[in-house]
Chains A and B, each alone.
Chain A
Amino acid sequence: MQSEIPLYPEQASNFAANVDALMVYITLICVFFAVAVTAAIIFFFFKYRRKDPAEVGVPIHGDMRLETAWIAVPLFLALTMFGWGAVVYVDYRRAPLDTLDIYVIGKQWMWKVQQPTGLREINELHVPVGRDVKLILASEDVIHDFSVPAFRVKMDVVPGHYNTMWFRPTKAGRYHFFCQQYCGTNHAIMGGWVTVMEPTEYSAWLSGSSDASANPIVAGEKLFVEKACTTCHLSNGTGRAPSLNGLYGGNVLLADGSTVTADDAYVRESILNPQAKIVAGYQPLMPSFQGQLTEEQIIDLTSYIKSLQSQPAPAKGGGVAPSMGKK
């Protein structure tokens, strides 16, 4: 196990071994050059020590072949480092399609985690081993960063839009997570624990402590009525605004002729900045809810709207948002 002064954290995700290998690769190259140059310098330092106070060195002005060599070789090695790192990063930035989506909200100075069933955790994140997990990150105030060293992953949590990150835990256990972007007074204690469990344990934990009133879909439905969304977004498609049945996950045709996928970000933007994208065939009438909803409430509304995707979409004609079918 770990020695008295460990050199690296546990490897607990799909990325960890690759990242550590990359680290070893770059370290070896750097150690090689550092040792080579240092050894040369030390060697010259002693071998060419000045023997006479008036002695002069041998003037050598340069050597084109050497210059070319020590530009070309480091350049080539740099490109290999770049390439390997790029592969890991591109993989990291492109989450797989079938993920367990968990919402994570950062605010000064705590983390609120919401599991798919609506179960909420504070400063804790439970995930099943062997499953691709995607975290959708939102901030209620300043920039934070959700970081799990044992997984070798982190991502900034920026107010104003969602960031996502993904990983697949490979080893059950408890691992630190930290806030990794300075966010004010209690930045250093804004952390917690990721608990990785066997899949059956995870399901059991999830259902065992579920709480009906915490169900985001229920909470979202309440908000949908409270905020008078039902006034325009009639489900039969005859309202001033498109019906949201069947919306989530599909493509939406916009007034300017472009199409957009109705994902979490689109739903959030439509609530906070509705003028940004107007659906084809509709007027820009929707007021903005900027400043009237917390990130959690937006997540609840999104969960509710997501649940409507399996509702029957209104029949064609009469004020229906033209949908181009599901992805």
Chain B
Amino acid sequence: MSGVTKSFGDKQVLRGIDIEVAAEESLAIIGTSGCGKSVTLKCLLGLLRADGGSIKVDGQEMIHAGRHQLEAMRRRFGMTFQFGALFDSLPIWENVTFRLRQQQTMTRQQARDLAAETITQLGLAAHVIDQYPAELSGGMQKRVALARAIADKPEILLFDEPTSGLDPITGGVIDRLILDSVRRLGATALTISHDMASVRRIADKVAMVHNGVIIWCGPAEEMDDTGIPEVHQFVHGLADGPLTLAAQAEARGH
């Protein structure tokens, strides 16, 4: 992504995002609430049209891509959403194999078998495939969302707050499953997170967004010693510093 901008009305959320992720690299984007992390991810997927700049995947421009090109590109992505975004009206096996079933590339039995195989790899019992999302705990829903994201072996995985709302142990398990899945698929990963423990576990590289721009990007092991006050405050979770709650509220437009 280079120089990506996005505004909503007269409020500019992204002021020129520059990020580069190498193949099979795992990048985490961190930043305070309302700083534009999720908007960045949505622009990358084409769910929101960026106003300017350039977003390239393997050299192919996404911003001005047509609908068919965008849809073809999205098939290379797998994504988990902050709250799972599982389809309430479908059982787990249909959620997990949704894309494959829509493409009509497999029978019902094949889909059930694949769903059972995928969720057991993620530590869930096979019988869960016949349950509905509302019957599962938050941690189980996150695992099913991960199963749905990896079921058709995408090249690029996007994770939006994968451990939010989970206890530290379940969060750790999810992180390990993400790491395993990314390694097994040889995928490139891009994660949005507030959870610094999780970021340390899963990211090779970290980028911090502040006021709609990347203020620091570097190897994960260097994020404690950037010398940038905002990064230092965020990484160490300090109450005092340049990042104030009032500034966050202003960034969100409240």
The answer to whether A and B assemble together is no
Taking beta carbons and an 8 Å cutoff, which residues of B are in contact with A? none
Taking beta carbons and an 8 Å cutoff, which residues of A are in contact with B? none
